[in-house]
């Protein structure tokens, strides 16, 4: 039933059969957040995507060691501050200790992940806790001849590495074109042989508030280095999966590949997986243009881009309707559609225990289960899983209407199908019911009063009941079957 798993390897640019290096163990590393600000919804998509990978591998029986780091220091090569990392910059702006900034936004990140029902990784290392290993790896790369010291900083020699290795393979960049494009961009980078070179260790100015001793003087590590060090420390010199956002392919992941090969002489990662970006109403999300939002703004509805609040599970369900490697467009209309679909699925699963059963079953539960596994085995294709679950909803409703029959055994299979794929694999847990028995009873009374008012042509009273309920975030809708109500936070 489970079949064979295939993943799209962004290094080889093709789907490959997944074969763990040392089954049943699987090592997976995902680049975590740089904790200098609140995590935005685009970041969340990446972590939710790899939560699905983590969950499904475990479902298949693998023992997964999932490492997701916290970046709490690191020199960003393209940083406009010429060597000052974002955390140090934020600490100066807020007049706080850097570790206060780190703790504040790490806590916030964990709160958001919990809201989205993202499982905790097996190990969550921080860059500052692995400075010794980063210094050791830098020295290894120097000893191998692929790095050089310049004015207290250490730089990776990209051109020298590229003479015997394929630099640019992951991102599809060609070294000759990169060299040509950067020859004229060496102003202000006199310490480097080439503007392609990147820092393994950066010399710190006296006023820099995050610095440590090293064989090359006081400084701090390069951002690319930490992931090479922490992934191989906990997963070995070669491991199965490395994930991250599509924006990290170049230069971050390209530099990781080069560092690992230079230090250990091995290709560290077997399968590279990348989650794609989010757009907002068809346009790229960007803090500089104001076209972005935080998860909290979605949960409260306090954003100009949404008309109401959406629950974390609705947002997560919405994300499941697009393949992790495809661009996903956020819009209020799309979220509303996802919310309705999510409620349809929950309503159908609630019907399962109540279905009238028969000895003969006309519902092909075997085919539904096979389709779910086939979809997940096709590079974690959650949109096709969702489509299959909606087909299962149709079958449940047909049985409820008496148009089809189902056996007790097949009801149990459907219950397991929704539990396995909706809850355990896609991580979407049923939300709280819209009210307790007392609230439901009160609403029945109110709706009956409104019904009487309409029948007596007292439309003023009918509209007033509707408007007063709306003011309390209770939305009513008249349908052929009767009046429905929902509580929208």
pLDDT at 79: 47
pLDDT at 453: 78
Position 179 scores a pLDDT of 76
Residue 113 makes CB contacts below 8 A (sequence gap 6+) with 44, 47, 120
Say if strands 198-203 and 219-221 run parallel, antiparallel, or are unpaired: antiparallel
Q: How far apart are the first and last CA of the chain?
A: 41
Nearest to 315 by CA among 119, 111, 41: 41
Distances (CA, A) of 310 to 113, 177, 303, 394, 484: 16, 46, 11, 25, 19
Give me the pLDDT at residue 81, please. Answer: 37
Residue 182 confidence (pLDDT):
58
Where do the structural domains in the chain lie, given as residue ranges?
6-275, 279-425, 437-487
Range 279-425: architecture per CATH: Orthogonal Bundle (1.10)
Q: How is domain 6-275 classified at the architecture level of CATH?
A: 3-Layer(aba) Sandwich (3.40)
Neighbours of 442 (CB within 10 A): 12
pLDDT at 436: 46
Q: What pLDDT digit, counting tens, does each position of 177-214 carry?
A: 887 665 545 444 578 999 899 999 999 988 888 999 99
How do beta strands 198-203 and 153-156 pair? antiparallel
Neighbour count for residue 473 (Cβ, 10 Å): 13
Q: Looking at residue 232, what is its pLDDT?
A: 98
CB 87 within 8 A of CB 186: no
Show pLDDT as tens, one digit a residue, over the chain (489 residues): 689 999 999 999 999 999 999 999 999 999 999 999 999 898 999 999 999 999 999 999 999 999 999 999 877 665 433 445 688 888 888 888 889 999 999 999 999 999 999 999 999 999 999 999 999 999 999 999 999 999 999 999 999 999 999 999 999 999 888 876 655 454 445 789 998 999 999 999 888 889 999 999 999 999 999 999 999 999 999 999 999 999 999 999 999 999 999 999 999 999 999 999 999 888 877 666 667 789 999 999 988 889 999 999 999 999 999 999 999 999 999 999 999 999 999 999 999 999 999 999 999 999 999 999 999 999 999 999 999 999 999 999 999 999 999 999 999 999 999 999 999 999 999 876 444 445 666 777 788 778 877 888 888 888 888 888 887 778 888 776 577 777 665
């Amino acid at each position: 039933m489970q079949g064979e798993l295939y993943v799209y390897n962004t290094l080889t640019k093709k789907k490959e059969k997944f074969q763990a290096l040392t089954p049943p163990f699987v090592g997976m590393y995902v680049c975590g957040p740089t904790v200098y600000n609140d995590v935005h919804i685009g970041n969340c998509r990446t972590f939710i995507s790899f939560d699905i990978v983590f969950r499904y591998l475990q479902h298949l029986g693998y023992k997964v060691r999932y490492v997701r780091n916290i970046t709490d220091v690191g020199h960003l090569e393209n940083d406009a501050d010429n060597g000052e990392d974002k955390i140090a910059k934020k600490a100066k702006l807020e007049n706080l200790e850097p570790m206060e900034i780190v703790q504040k936004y790490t806590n916030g990140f964990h709160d958001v992940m919990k809201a989205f029902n993202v499982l905790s990784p097996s190990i969550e290392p921080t860059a500052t806790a692995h400075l010794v290993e980063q210094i050791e790896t830098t020295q290894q790369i120097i000893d191998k001849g692929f790095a050089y010291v310049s004015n207290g900083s250490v730089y990776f020699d990209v051109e020298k590495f590229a003479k015997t290795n394929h630099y640019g393979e992951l991102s599809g960049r060609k070294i000759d074109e990169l060299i040509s494009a950067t020859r004229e961009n060496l102003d202000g980078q006199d310490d480097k042989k080439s503007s392609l070179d990147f820092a393994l260790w950066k010399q710190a100015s006296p006023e820099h508030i995050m610095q440590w001793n090293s064989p090359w003087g006081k400084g701090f590590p390069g951002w690319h280095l930490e992931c090479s060090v922490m992934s191989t420390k906990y997963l070995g010199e070669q491991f199965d999966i490395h994930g991250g956002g599509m924006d990290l392919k170049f230069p971050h992941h390209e530099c990781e590949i080069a560092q690992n090969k230079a230090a250990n002489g091995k290709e560290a990662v077997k399968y590279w997986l990348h989650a794609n970006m989010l757009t907002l109403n068809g346009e790229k999300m960007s803090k500089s243009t104001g076209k972005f939002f935080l998860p909290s703004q979605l949960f409260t509805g306090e954003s100009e881009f949404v008309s109401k609040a959406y629950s974390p599970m609705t947002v997560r369900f919405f994300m499941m309707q697009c393949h992790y490697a495809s661009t996903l467009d956020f819009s209020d209309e799309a979220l509303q559609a996802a919310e309705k679909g999510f409620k349809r699925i929950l309503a159908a699963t609630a019907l399962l225990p109540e279905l009238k059963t028969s000895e003969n079953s006309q519902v092909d539960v075997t085919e539904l289960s096979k389709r779910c596994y086939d979809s997940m085995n096709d590079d974690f294709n959650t949109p096709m899983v969702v489509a299959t679950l909606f087909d299962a909803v149709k079958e449940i409703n047909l049985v409820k209407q008496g148009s089809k029959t189902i056996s007790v055994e097949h009801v149990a299979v459907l219950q397991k199908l929704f539990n396995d794929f909706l809850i355990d694999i896609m991580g979407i847990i049923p939300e709280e019911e819209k009210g307790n028995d007392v609230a439901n009873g009160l609403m029945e009374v109110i709706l009956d009063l409104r019904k009487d008012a309409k029948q007596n042509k007292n439309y003023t009273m009918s509209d007033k009941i509707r408007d007063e309920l709306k003011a309390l975030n209770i939305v009513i809708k008249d349908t052929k079957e009767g009046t429905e109500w929902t509580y929208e936070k």
